[in-house]
Structure 1
Amino acid sequence: MNANQRDEQLFFSEMADVIPLNKGRNRADAGSTGARTPSDAQLARRASAQDGEQESNFLSDEFVDLLPANDPIEFRRDGIQTGVIEKLRHGGYQVDSQLNLIKRPVIECRRELFNFIRQAHHHELRCVMIIHGRGKSDESHANVVRSYVGKWLEQFDEVQAYVTAQPRHGGIGATYVMLRKAPRARQRNRELHQRRRAP
């Protein structure tokens, strides 16, 4: 008996009592009988988190059409001047903050992006960057996340425009986002203009 035959015999003897998975059960199943039952405290925390998520996070969790992996993306709302989008496209605005979504699950990206955009707007940031990575194919995880990010950003009233980042900031792997001014900032601008006009 040679070494390969001994290894094979040892492998089969070790695997003798292993039961193969049934077809269709090759993924985690929360309803399986072998799973431990969560405690009441865990269930309460989950319910609380889900309630908060449902009340606040309006981002769609439906499937999206995948973007071509190597095509830049761009969006602007009606009324946004072309000069603004051009300056954004050329990286002309200072990036005030960034969110890194590389290799994160899509459901986590949805939650993180929602919180990030809301907080950025609350803190009166104007230009932020989302780093989602660059995939080699349309079906790659990075491109799936990028496709969702493009769809989600359009669902925020706070987002005025977004474009693919410049190569120095990651190119196809990142997106610049222009946020509208927060109400406090708009009020300050109005007051400043009124003071300038006063005799």
Structure 2
Amino acid sequence: MGHSNHKDDFDEFLNEFKDVIPLKNTQVVQTTTNKNALAKQLKRQAIELEQQQTNNYLTTGDVKPIDPYDYLSFKQNGIQDGVFKNLRLGKYKIDTVLNLQQLKFEQARTTVFNQVQQAHAKGRRTLLIKHGLGLHSKPFPAMLKSYLNQWLIQMPEIIAFHTAQIKHGGNLAVYALLKKNQEQKLHNRETYGQK
């Protein structure tokens, strides 16, 4: 009689544990967690990239087409003529070269946006941006050059730009002058005793 009670107890015991997952599956659960962590990390990176692109205010809409052989030239108010002349003549040391040739439109837009901001943060002053002629670009010739002309005007970090000298690419490239960052302004004030 005690024997049948033992069986009932055992059945009851098994019944209590019917929802328990056998131990051998724990490895599977573990890897799923790792996959989830990786998925979350990738999603986070994608969101960060998307935010960078969302913060990218450079225009993708209407643009005034420029002839492939046109000179690009712009200076903000207050830029001294001598400074602009030196930029135009390629007399400043080139700190950074951006090559946009062979890049797709969105890649070029992101590169310009990110690289100009990084260069400014690092205190770089003169960029050489290679845009190419774009004789056969679609939907119109010099598409990238036309957009770059507009983008550089939109960026507060850029205080002047001009088509490069022949030795730096001529009509295929543009010099861009960046304004001083806060550290450089501070250094100048200390050096020259300005308040």
What is the TM-score normalised by the length of structure 1? 0.71
d(CA) in 2 for partners of 1:141, 1:46? 32
Q: Quote how far apart the aligned CAs of 1:43 are.
A: 6.2
Aligned residues: 156
Equivalent residue number for residue 71 of structure 1: 70
Structure number, greater radius of gyration: 2
The reply on whether 1:144 has 2:136 as its aligned counterpart is no
Equivalent residue number for residue 110 of structure 2: 111
Q: Quote how far apart the aligned CAs of 1:175 are.
A: 0.4
**What root-mean-square deviation, in Å, do the aligned CA atoms of Structure 1 and Structure 2 show?**
2.3
d(CA) in 2 for partners of 1:108, 1:137? 19
Deviation per residue, 1:170-198 (Å, 9 max, x gap):
10100000011111000011011229x9x
The reply on whether 1:121 has 2:131 as its aligned counterpart is no
Q: Identify if the C-alpha distance between structure 1 residues 121 and 44 changes in structure 2 by more than 3 Å, giving closer, same or farther.
A: closer
Equivalent residue number for residue 173 of structure 1: 172
Q: Quote how far apart the aligned CAs of 1:142 are.
A: 7.1
Q: In structure 1, the residue corresponding to 2:64 is in which secondary structure?
A: coil
Query: What letter matches 2:90 in structure 1?
Result: G
Equivalent residue number for residue 49 of structure 2: 49
Query: What letter matches 1:192 in structure 2?
Result: T
Q: Identify if the C-alpha distance between structure 1 residues 45 and 97 changes in structure 2 by more than 3 Å, giving closer, same or farther.
A: closer
d(CA) in 2 for partners of 1:185, 1:114? 21
Can you give the 5+ residue segments of structure 1 that lack an aligned partner in the other structure? 1-39
Q: Quote how far apart the aligned CAs of 1:65 are.
A: 1.6
Q: Quote how far apart the aligned CAs of 1:50 are.
A: 1.6
d(CA) in 2 for partners of 1:141, 1:168? 27
Q: Quote how far apart the aligned CAs of 1:64 are.
A: 1.0
Query: What letter matches 1:53 in structure 2?
Result: Q
d(CA) in 2 for partners of 1:87, 1:140? 35
Contact 2:134 2:145 in 1 (8 A): no
d(CA) in 2 for partners of 1:127, 1:82? 16
Equivalent residue number for residue 14 of structure 2: none
Answer 1 or 2: which has greater helix percent.
Answer: 2
Q: In structure 2, the residue corresponding to 1:63 is in which secondary structure?
A: coil
Deviation per residue, 1:60-104 (Å, 9 max, x gap):
221312101111110000011111111111111111111000021
Can you give the 5+ residue segments of structure 2 that lack an aligned partner in the other structure? 1-38
Query: What letter matches 2:187 in structure 1?
Result: R
